[in-house]
Amino acid sequence: MARPPLIGVTMSTTPDGGQTNTPPRAWVNHAYFRAVLDAGGIPILLPPHLDGRALEQLWARLDGILLTGGGDVDPAHFGEDQHPTVADVSEARDRLEIAVTERAMHDRRPLLAICRGIQVLNVALGGSLHQDIASDTGSTIAHSQTAPRDQPTHLVKVMGEGTRLGATLGAPEIAVNSMHHQALKRLGSGLRDVAWAPDGIIEGVEIADGTALVLGVQWHPEELVAHDPAARNLFRTLVAAAEMHRR
């Protein structure tokens, strides 16, 4: 019997300059595990401080990649000074996730990028970020919601015709949750925006040539899978593409 696809899942970590009385930690929210497992994959942890040898050994076994949410990307990676609102930066996490993203692009490994993940994807491909949506754009939408994580709080319009994300989500407009204060600004090489919030903030991207599965969403579908078919479809699509890649 063939084994299920192995999906590398990136992890959050203690931010640089954290409290000295807190031991260094790496973690990931359980919802990501559940979403991958329910879609038929097996989640494999990718902690930020993996050395090159360990990552090389894991990479040979992974069939797909899931970039998860978390703290802010260091704006030095896109040539900007740090805005006062930037928080929870980890150079180790930035370094690992950018390297994993670049390698996934090179090897055409299926990749799904969520929240911080879509931002890492964009930065790894040479793009930039709004370091703080409210300061940069004046948007009045609450992109950092106070409602429970599994409750949608705003709509997203999706380009349906000719897009992989549109085909995956199965609807031209969906309701999403929102837990971020940063967003994509200048798009990275090869990316196209295919979903937007009502204020114009980019909520979904994909690789324009469509030869490999690379999807990025700004919301948190892992928190919505219990009641949202579109959210479940994102993880099923990742696992199905990873299964095809393994063959």
Query: Which residue out of 97, 206, 222, 223 is catalytically annotated?
Result: 222
Cα 124 from chain centre: 12
Catalytic residue list contains 115: yes
Task: Name the β-bridge partners of 191.
Answer: 207
Catalytic residue list contains 222: yes
DSSP one-letter code for 144 = B
Task: With beta carbons less than 8 A apart as the criterion, state whether 72 and 15 touch.
Answer: no
The Cα-based distances of 20 to 15, 50, 102 in angstroms read 11, 22, 33
Query: Which residue out of 97, 115, 203, 223 is catalytically annotated?
Result: 115
Taking the C-alpha atoms of residue 200 and residue 206, their distance in angstroms, rounded to an integer, is 17
Catalytic residue list contains 161: no
Q: DSSP letters of 52-93?
A: HHHHHHHHTT--EEEE---SPPPGGGGT-PPPTT-----HHH
The SS3 call for residue 201 is: coil
Question: Which of 117, 114, 113, 108 lies closest to 246 in space, CA to CA?
Answer: 108
Which residues does the annotation mark as catalytic?
115, 220, 222
